[in-house]
């Protein structure tokens, strides 16, 4: 005895051919690599970040050199005062501080990048020191750079 089976509706039956085509399409999109628009977006973002960071780096190095200059001036002025307290007179030059072992070496001016450009301010000679033939010592030291600082003043006025 033969009983006919019910035929499935056309939209509900399994279609092996259509299913395999869909799988192929899905896997075709998994190719490795980036699209051109993705690369343009990434490079644009990198360019923006570099553009924002570069000025900060420029001023950071300048601020660091200014900090070194301030510290060098502070230490040399402190040592000139210490020399005066110890000897009762001001040193004749910065080299005298090195010769007397107050400094290991004359520091390099970070703005001029030289240890020869320091500007020494001499004490005002008295009549007594002129009569006795004493050498006039230095009472202050300044940078030899005439460049403007970030605060608007020049380095040789610090």
pLDDT, tens digit only, all 158 positions of the chain: 566 676 665 555 555 555 666 666 655 555 678 899 999 999 999 999 999 988 888 889 899 999 999 999 999 999 999 999 999 899 999 999 999 999 999 999 999 999 999 999 998 887 877 777 778 899 999 999 999 999 999 999 98
Whether 141 and 80 have beta carbons less than 8 Å apart is answered as: yes
3-class secondary-structure state, position 5: coil
Q: Give the model's pLDDT for residue 58.
A: 82
Contact between 80 and 90 under an 8 Å Cβ cutoff? The reply is yes
DSSP at 13: S
Short-list 127, 141, 132, 128, CA closest to 96: 141
| pLDDT at residue 18, as a whole number | 59
- Residue 126: the pLDDT is 79
End-to-end CA distance of the chain: 116
- Whether residue 23 contacts residue 15, with contact meaning beta carbons closer than 8 Å, is answered with no
Provide the 3-class DSSP secondary structure of residue 83.
helix
pLDDT at 97: 94
pTM exceeds 0.95 for this model = no
> What pLDDT does residue 21 have?
64
The pLDDT, as a whole number, for residue 145 is 92
Give the CA-trace dihedral at 50, 51, 55, 58, to 10 degrees.
40
- What pLDDT, on the 0 to 100 scale, is given for residue 63? 92
- Strands 138-142, 119-122: parallel, antiparallel or unpaired by DSSP? antiparallel
Q: What is the pLDDT of residue 136?
A: 87
Residue 65 has what pLDDT? Answer: 94
């Amino acid at each position: 005895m033969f009983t006919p089976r019910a035929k499935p509706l056309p939209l509900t039956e399994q279609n092996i051919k259509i299913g395999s085509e869909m799988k192929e399409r899905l896997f075709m999109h998994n190719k490795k690599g980036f699209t051109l628009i993705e690369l343009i977006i990434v490079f644009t973002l990198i360019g923006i970040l570099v553009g924002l960071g570069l000025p900060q780096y420029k001023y950071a190095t300048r601020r660091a050199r200014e900090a070194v200059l301030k510290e060098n001036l502070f230490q040399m002025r402190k040592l000139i005062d210490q020399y005066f307290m110890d000897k009762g007179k001001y040193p004749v030059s910065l080299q005298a501080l090195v010769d007397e072992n107050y400094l290991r070496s004359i520091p390099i001016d970070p703005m001029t990048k030289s240890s020869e450009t320091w500007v020494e301010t001499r004490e005002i000679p008295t009549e007594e020191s002129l009569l006795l033939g004493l050498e006039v010592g230095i009472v202050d030291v300044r940078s030899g750079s005439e460049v403007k600082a970030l605060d608007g003043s020049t380095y040789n006025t610090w």
